[in-house]
Structure 1
């Protein structure tokens, strides 16, 4: 499992393992995305504006299955 702490306005941290991307928002909400390619995580971690990348490339991508976690 890879974990990155994100210095952004909305995202607290991101976990990645076996094409599952878990995004933890600063509001406490957690979302799991089932990705199609492992390179998406690398592109996210290399992006200069992680909030913008998350919103435009992951959250808005209908090909990624999104599941909200509660608890």
Structure 2
């Protein structure tokens, strides 16, 4: 499992393991994205504006199935 702390306005940290990306927002919301490819995670971790990359490449991408976690 890879975990990166994110210095952004909205995202607290992300975890990646076995084609699953878990995004933890600073509001406490957690989302899992299924079928996320490794190169997408690497591009996310290398991007300068992670909030923008998350909104445009991950959250807006309909190929990635999003599941919200509660609790």
After TM superposition, the score normalised by the length of structure 2 is 0.97
What secondary structure sits across from 1:45 in the alignment?
Answer: helix
Are 2:46 and 1:59 equivalent residues in the alignment?
A: no
Distance 1:29 1:37 in 2: 22
2:6 corresponds in structure 1 to 6
Distance 1:32 1:6 in 2: 16
**Structure 2: 5+ residue runs without aligned partners?**
none
What secondary structure sits across from 1:27 in the alignment?
Answer: coil
**Deviation, structure 1 residue 36:** 4.0
2:26 corresponds in structure 1 to 26
Distance 1:2 1:39 in 2: 13
**Structure 1: 5+ residue runs without aligned partners?**
none
After TM superposition, the score normalised by the length of structure 1 is 0.97
